[in-house]
């Protein structure tokens, strides 16, 4: 939610064409990219990796108990 609000606030700054906005424009683009990347990592990649590692560990434990 806060990432969405920050991205929404930075979008006008990223697309502005006024003079003297070269540094601000670049900063806005970098911050937007970082927020999108971190949000995707947090919501998609980390849970998938956790499930993958947990499933592997669970399989090993099940094989050990069957022996």
Query: In this predicted model, what pLDDT tens digit does every residue of 39-59 receive, in sequence order?
Result: 999 999 999 999 999 998 888
Number of domains in the chain: 1
Q: How far is CA 53 from the centre of its chain?
A: 20
| pLDDT > 80? residue 61 | yes
Instruction: Give the tokens for residue 38.
Output: 């971190």
CA pair distance 48, 61, nearest whole angstrom: 20
CA pair distance 33, 38, nearest whole angstrom: 9
| 40/67: higher pLDDT | 40
Structural domain boundaries, residue 33: 2-66
pLDDT tens, residue by residue, 22-38: 889 999 999 999 999 99
| pLDDT > 70? residue 67 | no
């Amino acid at each position: 939610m806060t990432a969405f609000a920050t991205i929404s606030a930075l979008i006008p700054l990223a697309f502005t064409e006024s003079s003297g906005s070269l540094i601000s424009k670049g900063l806005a683009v970098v911050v937007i990219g970082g927020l999108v990347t971190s949000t995707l990592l947090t919501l998609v990649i980390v849970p998938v990796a956790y499930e993958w590692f947990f499933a592997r560990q669970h399989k090993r434990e099940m094989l050990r108990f069957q022996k």
